Amino acid sequence: MIDVVRGDITQQDVDAIVNAANSSLMGGGGVDGAIHAAAGPALLQACKDVRRRLYPDGLPTGAAIATTGGDLPARFVIHTVGPKYWEYADGGRELLAAAHRNSLAETQRVGASSVAFPAISCGVYGWNPREAAPIAIEAVRTALADFPDVQRVSFVLINDDAFDAFTRAIESAD
């Protein structure tokens, strides 16, 4: 099941939330900063551990990795780095799709059955939600067949533009 919700991703009653992270995993602005602030120091420590053990040069664009949820209602945070629109001739469409697919793979890997996504790359990374939403919805819809343990996916959007774009995209995909 895939749905679109208007709200705060840090307050969702799901097993995992996806963080639209920067490659450093050390927090930032937008949803990344909100998740780090709500999760508390355990999240930052987990991210430092990931950097030290697995990604000393930072998490690559399109990749995903799970950490603890810290003080969040969600048990896990799935960090992914979306593409910066201006760095690719097509905005990085395949990397945006990969960020969603790899986040679902991590969701299943940690045993989570429900996950909430933000509008990856739709903030400072320059993607227009009307362009990103169909890519995100299609990537998730297609990838769910490979991850049968993931039973519920929500796109949790904080602003009207993103909410409207994702709602239209999910309606068009039906």
DSSP per residue over 7-26, as a string?
S-GGG--SSEEEEE--TT-S
pLDDT recorded at residue 91: 87
Instruction: State the catalytic residue, choosing from 8, 32, 49, 90.
Output: 32
Maximum CA pair distance of the chain? 43
pLDDT averages per 10-residue partition of the chain, 174 residues:
96 97 91 95 96 96 97 98 94 96 98 98 94 97 95 96 96 80
Question: Which residue type sits at 93?
Answer: R
**CA–CA dist 4, 140 (Å, integer):** 13
Task: State pTM to two decimals.
Answer: 0.96
Judge contact between 102 and 63, C-beta under 8 A: yes
Phi, psi of 114 (to 5 degrees): -135, 140
Taking the C-alpha atoms of residue 1 and residue 111, their distance in angstroms, rounded to an integer, is: 17
pLDDT at res. 28:
86
Identity of residue 127: W
pLDDT of residue 29: 86
Does residue 32 have an active-site annotation? yes
Contact 97, 139 (CB under 8 A): yes
The structural domains of the chain, with segments of one domain joined by +, span 2-173
* CATH code for residues 2-173: 3.40.220.10
Express as a percent the part of the chain with pLDDT over 90: 92
Give pLDDT tens digits for 79-115.
999 999 999 889 899 999 999 999 999 999 999 999 9
Taking only Cα atoms into account, the Rg of the chain, rounded to an integer number of angstroms, comes to: 14
